Amino acid sequence: MSPLSGASVPGRLPGGGGSPTLAVGDGARAQLGLHIHCALAALFVALIPVVPAPRDIAFAALTAFAVLRLPRTMPTYRALVRQPIVWFLLAWPAWQAVSLLWSPDVAEGIRELKAMRAVLVPFILWPVCGRGRYLVAAFLVGVVLLNGAQALSGAGLLITEHTELHPGRFGGLLNPIQAGISCAIGLCWAIAAVLVTRGGKRAMASVALVSAAAGLFFSGSRGPWVGAVAGIAVLLAVLAVRHPALRRRVTTLAILAALAGIVALATPRFQDRYAESVTESSDSWAHVDVTTSIGLRLWLWQAAWQEFRARPIAGTGAGGFVSAVKETQAYRADMLVLPEKERIVIAHPHSVYLHMLAVHGIVGGVILAGLLILALRQASRDREDPIYAAGALAALVAWTVGAGFDCYNRSGQTTYELALLVTLTLAGRTHSATAEEPAPPGPASTSTEKS
Lowest mean pLDDT among 96-100, 167-171, 175-179, 443-447: 443-447
pLDDT of 73 above 60: yes
Per-residue pLDDT at 322: 87
Note the pLDDT of residue 22. Answer: 39
3-state secondary structure the chain: CCCCCCCCCCCCCCCCCCCCCCECCCCHHHHHHHHHHHHHHHHHHHHCCCCHHHHHHHHHHHHHHHHHCHHHHHHHHHHHHCCHHHHHHHHHHHHHHHHHHHCCCHHHHHHHHHHHHHHHHHHHHHHHHHHHHHHHHHHHHHHHHHHHHHHHHHCCCCCCHHHHHCCCCCCCCCCHHHHHHHHHHHHHHHHHHHHHCCHHHHHHHHHHHHHHHHHHHHHCCHHHHHHHHHHHHHHHHHHHHHCHHHHHHHHHHHHHHHHHHHHHHCCHHHHHHHHHHHHHHHHHHHCCCCCCHHHHHHHHHHHHHHHHHHCCCCCCCCCCHHHHHCCCHHHHHHCCCCCHHHCCCCCCCCCHHHHHHHHHHHHHHHHHHHHHHHHHHHHHHCCCCHHHHCHHHHHHHHHHHHCCCCCHHHCHHHHHHHHHHHHCCCCCHHHHCCCCECCCCCCCCCCCCCC
The torsion region of residue 4 among left (phi > 0), alpha (psi -120 to 50) and beta comes to: beta
The closest alpha carbon to 413, from 39, 47, 87, belongs to: 47
Q: What is the pLDDT of residue 336?
A: 61
pLDDT interval class at 30 (50, 70, 90): confident
For the ranges 27-31, 117-121, 230-234, 240-244, the lowest mean pLDDT is seen at: 27-31
pLDDT of 441: 42
Say whether pLDDT at 15 is over 50: no
Mean per-residue pLDDT for 404-409? 91
What is the per-residue pLDDT for 423?
A: 92
pLDDT of amino acid 245: 86
Residue 83: is its pLDDT beyond 70? yes
Residue 446 clears pLDDT 50, i.e. is over it: no
At residue 23, the pLDDT reads 43
Q: How confident is the model at residue 344 (pLDDT cuts 50, 70, 90)?
A: low
* 269 pLDDT tier (thresholds 50, 70, 90): confident
Quick one: average pLDDT of 167-193?
90
pLDDT at residue 19 greater than cutoff 50: no
27-41, 90-104, 343-357, 390-404: range with lowest mean pLDDT: 343-357
Closest CA to 358 of 326, 333, 324, 329: 324
Does pLDDT of 100 surpass 50? yes
**Percentage of residues in the chain having pLDDT higher than 90:** 49
pLDDT in tens, 271-294: 776 666 666 555 555 556 677 777
**Binning pLDDT at 50, 70 and 90, where does residue 432 land?**
low
Q: What is the pLDDT of residue 3?
A: 33
List own/partner pairs for 333-340 with CB under 8 A and 24 or more apart: 334/288, 334/290, 334/299, 335/290, 338/290, 338/291
- Comparison of pLDDT for 173 and 356, the residue scoring more: 356
Task: State how far Cα 405 lies from the chain centre.
Answer: 14
pLDDT the model gives residue 262: 87
Confidence of residue 17 (pLDDT cuts 50, 70, 90): very low
Confidence tier at 8 by pLDDT (50, 70, 90): very low
Which position has the higher pLDDT, 164 or 137? 137
pLDDT band at 61 (very low <50, low <70, confident <90, very high): very high
What separation in angstroms does the CA of 243 have from each of 84, 199, 239, 383, 386? 29, 20, 5, 10, 9
Under 8 Å CB-to-CB from 38, ≥6 apart: which residues?
128, 131, 134
Given a cut of 90, whether residue 308 has pLDDT beyond it is yes
| pLDDT of 346 | 74
pLDDT average, residue stretch 42-63 = 95
Q: What's the whole-number average pLDDT of the chain?
A: 82
Percent of the chain with pLDDT over 70: 80
What mean pLDDT do residues 348-371 have? 94
The residue that leads in pLDDT, 164 or 83, is 83
